Structure 1
Amino acid sequence: MIKKSYTDEQIRLARYAKALSHPVRIQILQILSQQSCCYSGDIVDDLPIARSTLSQHLSELREAGLIQGEFNPPKIKYCIRQEAWAEAQKLFENFFKNLKNSTNL
């Protein structure tokens, strides 16, 4: 039996899906989408979590490439990375479209 490797598209889609797999990270993206950029201190005021927990969630989103942070001591300003967001949207659309076509839903 020959094992197939994952495509680059599958790997990127899975990475975005993992980053979006927690309600706090969804809420962070919603907050950031309503403004051009935001400091982490302002984000934590809108969420029912500790600063350290927020930092972990921001790190996950940053590692996936969905957001970027700009260090302005002593604060970090976060913004959505529009090109990554557009890619994620396209990957998810293609995934669900192809899934729908293959299952005749």
Structure 2
Amino acid sequence: MRGLYPKLGHISVYEHQHGRPLLSALVIRKATGRPGSGFADLASQLGFEHAEENEFWEHQVGEVVRFWSADDPVMLMDSAMDQVLKELGSIRRAVRRLAARPGEKG
């Protein structure tokens, strides 16, 4: 199972970058019925502020279930569009930086 944990982290980062709740919240330890400590650590690295780890985890589970069980194509498209707009903004900034370089020919 240890080889799976980094992959779960990548999934959570990807979901967070796309404006969705942390899908890996659904992965729990068999013995405890709770996520491992890596879940809370990653949430902190992603900038989530939470007073109590179990409360944060339970909230994320609820958000995952709500988001992925919603029969709302607009909500799903909104999260995808947020990422597209973010990428377009990055491209725009890169083009402006390139255009602002004096004396360079393309």
More strand by proportion, 1 or 2? 1
- The structure that is helix-richer by fraction is 2
TM over 0.5: no
Q: TM-score range by the shorter chain?
A: 0.3 to 0.5
Give the TM-score, by structure 2 length: 0.38
Largest Rg, 1 or 2: 2
